[in-house]
Structure 1
Amino acid sequence: MTRKGKRLLSIGGMVSVVAVAAALVLTAMSDSVAYFNSPTDIVEKTPAPGQRIRLGGMVETGSVVRDQGETVTFRVTDTIQSVPVTYTGILPDLFREGQGVVAEGTLGPDHLFLADTVLAKHDENYMPKEVVDDLKARGLWDHDNSRPKAADEKGAGV
């Protein structure tokens, strides 16, 4: 075999090893990936049972119910649909009604979202990027004030 042939064979072997390693890493990561969904997405296309997803939106005003212990039930809305969420654990200090939130977990058979992680905004100007992008895509974002549209403005941008 010539030097050129040996070099070509070596390069081909290295590319094959890298391709197999990349495939193994991507396969391993696919189990831990959580896709972002708005409440409307979940209502319209119900995810597979046990599929890990992120639910993002606003905590619906008047929906937070604190059970005995650390269990909290609330609704996440994108102003079109809302999804009930239950979470057992300590909520972030900044969690409250009317604020942006991203919950990570699975959807139960009764369409109750079982969250194992809840992320809340960290100051008055922040909302999770996925939530903002979804509100913008639905025409529910006030571009002038960088906030969700008020109830009386919602029809204007749609």
Structure 2
Amino acid sequence: MKCAHFTLLLGLAAAVTSLPHAHRKRALEERPYSEFQISDGVAGNAQAEVFEQFPIDTSDLASVSASDLDIIKSARETAEAAEVDAGGFNEAIDAAGGADSAEGAPLQTGKIKNKVLKLQLEVLALQIEQAQGDDGVAEKLDEEQAKLDTNVALDEEAAGQPSQSVDFDG
């Protein structure tokens, strides 16, 4: 009988430890752009891909740590650089013959996914700042949310189309 109770207890312990820990906070880590970019693959699910890369509990933004907020802001800056700096999407699309060319179209789709990454991180940072008492970000938050909504819609319209990243060192 004791063996059966022990086996049951052991089984319960194993089951509990294998459950996802939705409420456990997990700190973000600094990573190079190549490890958090979402532009490879196909279009249509960019926003969800951002949250996979940056798993922040959006139900409790007031408790996001300063270090996680810094990582979010830094990643946003890097995503923007991957769009506009040398070696980024704009340069790659031009070199491929434009957004409508066979080589440029997947890069353009990747650029839209990158914009979703950049803008979602910007919106998330502003939401965190607002939740932590900064009342001066409301107007900027509205502006960035509108841009995000536009780019999420573009990504969803292109669902299933091939998407290509750039080899950006950020």
TM-score (norm 2): 0.29
Q: Which is bigger in relative contact order (C-alpha 8 A, separation at least 6)? A: 2
Structure showing the higher helix proportion among its residues: 2
TM-score (norm 1): 0.30
Structure showing the higher strand proportion among its residues: 1
